[in-house]
Amino acid sequence: MNKIKRDISPWSLMLTGLGSIIGSGWLFGAWHASAIAGPAAILAWIIGAVVVLAIALTYAEMGAMFPESGGMVRYARYSHGSLVGFLAAWANWISIVAVIPIEAIASIQYMASWSFPWARALVHQGELTSSGLVGSAALVMVYFGLNYWGVKLFVKTNTAITVFKLVVPALTAVALMATSFNTGNFGDGSISSFAPYGWSAVFTAVAASGIVFSYNGFQSPVSLAGEARNPGRSIPFALIGSVVIALIIYVALQIAFIGAVSPESIASGWHNLSFDSPLAQLALALNLNWLAMLLYLDAFVSPSGTGSIYTATTARMIYAMEKNNTLPKIFGNLHPLYGVPRQAMWLNLAVSFIFLFFFRGWGTLAAVISVAVIISFLTGPISLMSLRVHAPEVKRPLRLKGMGIIAPFAFICASLVLYWARWPLTGQVILLVIGALPIYFYYQAKSGWLGFARELRAAIWLIGYLPAMALVSYIGSEAFGGIGILPEGVDMAVVAAVALAFYRLGVSSGYRTPYLSESVIWQNNEPADAAVPAQPSDQSPSLAK
């Protein structure tokens, strides 16, 4: 019998989340955010953390309820059935598997500012050349190898790497502030100088500069919940702890970066800042050669640590998606000795190479990942509240207070970030998610479309929400890439109203799905008052009504 091993401690789980969050984002994020929003990029990091924390809290409760490997691709299935579950899982998988190649791209891209001719040949105009592509592919193979022989090796490696990843960003922030801190770079005290491109630019920075992407690592502890000791305590500790520590580090780095930039380089505007390896080049300009060398080293360590973590979590997502009956059975096999889904790892390796080939620049792929992340987040608050309504007696090791307010707030925030990503990117990624439906329909056809009418009714909120958001983005204000039918200010009020309406529809359209019997609370034979009673099969007429 395939069995997941539970041997990850709470601290190791928190370090896994922190190691996922602090990847290439800290190396590039401060530059991208300030280029979009100027000094007000500091606020963008705080806004991003608030949004992610609100969403993370909803997943903390569900992660403790269903401590399963790859759990984030299962929760929507439990609350709304297989169609919503498939779309949520697909968006989540896209957002996670693409992180593996982007971390490799980050490491190679940081080498482009080295003085060696072969290093400069790795990147051309912000994109990998053929030689850069080969180097990135080699790094992806390293991530693959670290996880191929089991989760214990992965966790031990990650703990050491994460400690290093915490020390270097903190040291970088302190060194830059101590060496050069131009207070005039933060403006003259007026709002217009602090936010020179307006508040719309601050919001766009949250969605498109890599901030949401940088915080996305909070999913890793949830995906590894099935291998955690005492998940009711471990998961919220890991989620909240990793996001809060990352926020402190990111804000410190952003402040240090803004203060360290020479006034001459921003005389014509923050938009004109151009770097290949931002923090390292700043260190060299300030004659901090030791720091530059450390940063060049960490450009491999930080992304490689994150890439290794995501290689582990994406394999467990594929494992979970097979349990949803939307992928071939071979991907549900675990290695009898190492306990890892090796066939799933091979699939993710192939997909990583595809992403490497089509998206060869850090900024381009980070924007795509950010939008996919937000779409995958959307089902969390709705699934949580729907399960509270339709399966209230299911055992909850962790029941957070205030979710009646936090959950709709999280859904509205996620919708706003999706809008802030700007048209046409929002529409393109929504189309990418919907484009996976033929896979779902194939497996439905194999089962004879049993119970499909019930699945469709439970999914009507998501089916309506995605095109509605694409439409609002298209007709939205020009500040967010729209055609300007909705003026700035009114557009965000419309997004919030649309989000709240679909949130309520989503919670009410959930039902006590038969898929709850697939969860660990059923398989572990919990007491009758905590377990889910047997459900009719998809062949039952009650599911088609």
- Locate the domains of the chain by residue range: 10-543
Query: Token digits for 499?
Result: 């989000």
Query: Residue 182: is its pLDDT beyond 50?
Result: yes
Q: Report the DSSP pairing between strands 127-128 and 123-124.
A: antiparallel
Mean pLDDT of 251-265: 93
Using the structure block, give the residue that is written with the tokens 């949803």: 324
Average pLDDT of the residues of the chain: 82
Q: Which residue, among 52, 92, 88, 95, has the nearest Cα to 379 in the 3D structure?
A: 88
493 versus 297: the higher-pLDDT residue is: 493
Highest mean pLDDT: which range of 181-185, 349-353, 408-412:
408-412
pLDDT at 272: 84
Q: Would you say residue 73 has pLDDT above 80?
A: no
Beta bridge partners of 8: 228
CA 291 to chain CA mean position, Å: 29
Q: Per-residue pLDDT for 224 more than 70?
A: no
* DSSP summary character for residue 539: T
Burial, 426: exposed, middle or buried (Cβ in 10 Å; 0-12, 13-18, 19+)? buried
- Which of the four CATH numbers 1.20.1740.10, 3.40.800.10, 3.20.20.70, 2.30.33.40 does domain 10-543 have? 1.20.1740.10
Check residue 533 and give its pLDDT: 41
Contact by Cβ (8 Å): 348, 97 = yes
Which helix or strand (DSSP H or E) is residue 232 part of?
Answer: helix 231-260
User: In this structure, is the dihedral angle defined by the CA atoms of residues 302, 334, 387 and 457, taken in order, positive or negative?
Assistant: positive
Q: What is the identity of the amino acid at 164?
A: F
How far is Cα 365 from Cα 213, in angstroms, rounded to an integer? 10
Based on the number of CB atoms within 10 Å of its own CB, is 381 exposed (0-12), middle (13-18) or buried (19 or more)?
Answer: buried
CA distance 231 to 66: 9
**Strand blocks (E) in 406-488:** none
pLDDT of residue 491: 95
What is the Cα–Cα distance from 100 to 36, expressed in whole angstroms?
A: 25
- Chain centroid to CA 103: how far? 13
Weakest mean pLDDT among 30-34, 193-197, 321-325, 475-479 = 321-325
Q: Which of 144 and 507 is assigned the larger pLDDT?
A: 507
d(CA 103, CA 308): 9
Confidence of residue 357 (pLDDT cuts 50, 70, 90): confident
Q: Return the pLDDT at 401.
A: 83
Please, are residues 60 and 384 in contact by the beta-carbon 8 Å criterion?
A: no
Q: Largest Cα–Cα distance in the chain?
A: 74
> Residues 6 or more apart from 89 whose CB is under 8 A from it?
73, 74, 76, 77, 317, 320, 321, 324, 326
Position with higher pLDDT, 7 vs 284: 284
Phi, psi of 19 (to 5 degrees): -65, -30
Q: Are 164 and 299 in contact (CB under 8 A)?
A: no
Instruction: Give DSSP secondary structure letters for 120-146.
Output: HTTEETTEE-HHHHHHHHHHHHHHHHH
pLDDT at 385: 95
Rounded average pLDDT over 176-186: 92
- Between 243 and 114, name the one with better pLDDT: 243
When mean pLDDT is compared across 115-129, 374-388, 407-421, the lowest value belongs to: 115-129
> pLDDT tens across 417-449, in order?
999 988 988 888 888 888 888 888 888 888 888
Give the per-residue pLDDT at 107.
86
Contacts of residue 445, defined as CB under 8 A and 6 or more positions apart, other chains included, come to none
Q: Is 407 within 8 Å of 385 (Cβ atoms)?
A: yes
* Whether 496 contacts 416, CB under 8 Å: yes
Q: Which has the closest alpha carbon to 305: 25, 9, 523?
A: 25
In 3D space, the residue among 406, 536, 423, 428 whose CA is nearest the CA of residue 479 turns out to be: 423
> Distance (Å, rounded) from C-alpha 490 to C-alpha 65?
39
Of 226-230, 302-306, 431-435, the range with the lowest mean pLDDT is: 226-230
Helix (H, G, I), strand (E, B) or coil at 8: strand
- Predicted pLDDT of residue 185: 93
Residues 6+ apart with CB under 8 A from 297: none
**Quick check: 238 and 17 in contact, CB under 8 A?**
yes
Per-residue confidence (pLDDT) for residue 322, from 0 to 100? 74
Q: What is the pLDDT of residue 267?
A: 85
**Distance from C-alpha of 356 to C-alpha of 97, rounded to nearest angstrom:** 11
Sorting pLDDT into bands at 50, 70 and 90, what band is 339? low
